[in-house]
Structure 1
Amino acid sequence: MKRKRRHFSPDFKATVAIEALKERQSVNQLAEKYELHPNQITTWKKEFVDNADKAFSDEKANAEQKDREKQMEELYKQIGQMKVETDWLKKKLL
């Protein structure tokens, strides 16, 4: 019978990668402990190390700032539309 593909959370992958980096246990021991293939742990470890610089970057802050700016732009559009509608209604009443 075919084994189903398992999906792991980013937190789990990071935990396993950090344990592999600490080298308190061999990759084979970690693979046995977490029921993973040693190559999978090595891949996660390499990916973790390769992306370590992103932990110190401002990309997240920049993305949040862009989201805020986009939201403010949308709100200003809504305010403008409401102002046009209220001005039109005032003219109709007079």
Structure 2
Amino acid sequence: MSRRTRRNHTPAFKAKVALAAVKGDRTLAQLAEQFDVHPNQITAWKAQLESKAADAFGPGGGSGAEQAAIDVKSLHAKIGELTLENDFLEGALTKAGLLSAKR
């Protein structure tokens, strides 16, 4: 008996299966046979769809482009701050003789 290799389903496939389960016109067993996935997996995808469906209609539900831009700005600021600290500490340790010149 050979084992089936682990499959990675695309988000589009998961959504298709979950939407079919939400419709309710077919049983879980029929959907499992049609899509060749375990009924427990269909139930999990359906629950995930139902729990995150409200996010699609909430504030900023369309895209997170504005939030991503804000995060990038703060991350760039943090990178600059940490670079400045590293340069300062490297100079101080080199003057103290605790950091070798060849790194």
TM more than 0.5:
yes
Displacement of 1:61 = 4.1
After TM superposition, what 4+ stretches of structure 1 lie above 6 angstroms from structure 2? Answer: none
Q: Give yes or no for the alignment of 1:45 onto 2:46.
A: yes
Match of 2:66 in 1: 62
Match of 2:35 in 1: 34
Q: Give yes or no for the alignment of 1:11 onto 2:12.
A: yes
SS at the partner of 1:48? helix
SS at the partner of 2:17? helix
Cα distance in 2 for partners of 1:2, 1:12 equals 23
Higher helix share: 1
Cα distance in 2 for partners of 1:24, 1:51 equals 22
SS at the partner of 2:16? helix
Displacement of 1:53 = 1.4
- Please give the TM-score of this superposition, normalised by the length of structure 1: 0.65
Displacement of 1:56 = 1.8
Structure 1 counterpart of 2:12, one-letter code: D
* Percent sequence identity over aligned pairs: 41
Q: What number of residue pairs does the alignment pair up?
A: 72
Cα distance in 2 for partners of 1:46, 1:40 equals 10
Match of 1:80 in 2: none
Structure 1 counterpart of 2:11, one-letter code: P
Structure 2 counterpart of 1:50, one-letter code: S
Structure 2: unaligned runs, 5 residues or longer: 78-103
Q: Deviations over 1:19-71 (max 9, x none)?
A: 1000111111010001111111001000100111111231614324426x63x
- For the aligned residues, what is the CA RMSD? 2.2
